Structure 1
Amino acid sequence: MSIKDHLKVLIVDDHRTSRMLIRDALEQLGIKNIVFATDGEEALRTMMTAPCHIIISDFNMPKLDGIQLLKAIRAYGPTKKTPFIILTGKGDRELVQQAAQCGVNNFLAKPITLPVLKKTMEAVVGPLQ
């Protein structure tokens, strides 16, 4: 049994289309256990009640943005080591720097391609096969 068979992924994005595109790409990689949150607050509640193995979160969201969510995840003992990937539509150096200082594991720039998603996931969790 490979890692992809039991990996539980939380996708956090306020845009339904983005969530579905990421879900479809993850499913193409063989990852089936996928849950969703529409904002950082919902994601935090999910992680407190039914933790996931990895978080893929948009940066620009209402309520808690991606950086605020990352900080909250890193501050909470049971989730502080959860791998965290930030999605962004901008190549913002300041965001990259800020996320790195907060302990982000990797970045994904939109639009996402399957090869880049696979490489990013494997850099964080190891080979998916």
Structure 2
Amino acid sequence: MPAAASIQTLIVDDQMTMRALVRNGLQQLGITNSREASDGEEALRSLLARPAHLIISDFNMPKLDGLGLLRAVRSHEPTRKTAFIMLTGRADRELVQRAVQFGVNNYLVKPFTVQVLREKIEQVFGALT
């Protein structure tokens, strides 16, 4: 992936504060092209209307949780290759294993720093320029 500014990101979390924290972290990294959704269903509709390069999604949300969103993204041909980072306060082994089984690209545990956010994104895309 070229410059950070070219990465189109979809931030999915039912908490507005967490979406703002992720958005601000991305902006500090130069990733300015982002949009938001408050649950998995809204995210899926948004993604089908306008693709993204990266989804950063909370695990625990109403309607459609992060695992459900991940499964839907991976099962739909136009979105199958979209990078997906799961964001959660739960770092238990079972959840991580299920996310890996469904094709998650990386995992980000709350609370996180901008440096950790950068590392997780770079592990997926390579160095941000």
SS at match of 2:122: helix
Q: What is the SS of the residue equivalent to 1:25?
A: helix
C-alpha distance after superposition, 1:38-93 (max 9, x if no partner): 00000000110001110000000000000000000000000001110000101211
Percent of matched pairs sharing the same residue: 56
Note the 1:48-59 alignment, pairs <5 A: 48-59=48-59
Aligned pairs for 1:25-104 (under 5 A) are 25-104=25-104
Distance in structure 2 (CA, Å) of the matches to 1:9 and 1:126: 16
Match for residue 118 of structure 2?
Answer: 118
Aligned mates of 2:58, 2:99 — CA distance in 1: 12
Please give the alpha-carbon distance, in whole angstroms, between the structure 2 residues aligned to 1:18 and 1:5: 21
Aligned length: 128
Give unmatched runs, 5+ long, in structure 1.
none
CA RMSD of aligned residues (A): 0.7
Inter-partner Cα distance in structure 2 for 1:31 and 1:83:
14
Instruction: Show structure 2 runs of 5+ residues with no match.
Output: none
What amino acid is aligned across from residue 111 of structure 1 in structure 2?
Answer: P
CA-to-aligned-CA distance 1:7-28 (integer Å, 9 cap, x gap): 1000000000000000000000
CA-CA distance at 1:127 after TM superposition: 1.1
Give SS of 1:55's match.
strand
